[in-house]
Amino acid sequence: MKGFYPTLLLVLVIPFLRADPTWTAERRANQRGEIIPKSLSLYLRRYLPDLEILPKEDFVAYTAGARPDQPSPFICSGEFNGDGRKDFALLLKHKVNQTLKLLAFHQKKKQTYTHFVVEDLWGIKVEEGKKVHLFIECEKPGKKQDIEGGPVINLKTNSISLGAYGEAGSGLYYFGNNQYKWILTGD
């Protein structure tokens, strides 16, 4: 009877914790210091083993806490395809040739993913010990227009902005017709 009460307390409390909507896999991952969900990390290891996440400190102008809504200048999340699930954009480095790729991961049921190569930045190499000047941000839905003209696009989902630190040029990628499209947003 000595250990009965602590055991009873655990049996009564744990189901309530699991029923709490804030007690999610993502929250547990964030508590462990991970910056993407474990399911996405496993997906990367299984399907894209030649690509790796850049450490946030590799960004040329990294400042801790500068973007509290974004864990890294190379990672952002939003809802890109209109299905109501949280999707991710990652700027990844190829382990062998050291080039960069921008990929989007659309979450499916049961925390699995479908990935899209948004932009293969094959001409941009990350040399050993050098900082990365490119960054990504997830943009809110709204009206967007290519600076070179063209029609105004009313985006109903998040989009991915690719920029270069210290440069005026930037582009916006948005999902439509089962592919990513690009517009120039800064020159």
Q: Which long-range contacts (CB under 8 A, 24 or more apart) does 112-121 make?
A: 112/39, 112/43, 113/39, 113/40, 113/43, 115/43, 115/47, 115/48, 116/175, 116/179, 116/180, 118/89, 118/160, 118/173, 118/180, 119/162, 119/173, 119/180, 119/182
**pLDDT (tens digit per residue) in 5-35:** 444 333 444 444 444 343 344 444 444 345 7
Name the one residue in this structure whose structure tokens are 């946030």: 56
What are the two backbone dihedrals, phi and then psi, of residue 120, each rounded to the nearest 5 degrees? Answer: -95, 105
CA distances from 21 to 14, 26, 30, 47, 111 (A): 13, 11, 15, 30, 16
pLDDT tens across 68-107, in order?
Answer: 667 788 999 999 999 999 999 999 999 999 999 999 999 9
pLDDT of the residue at 60: 77
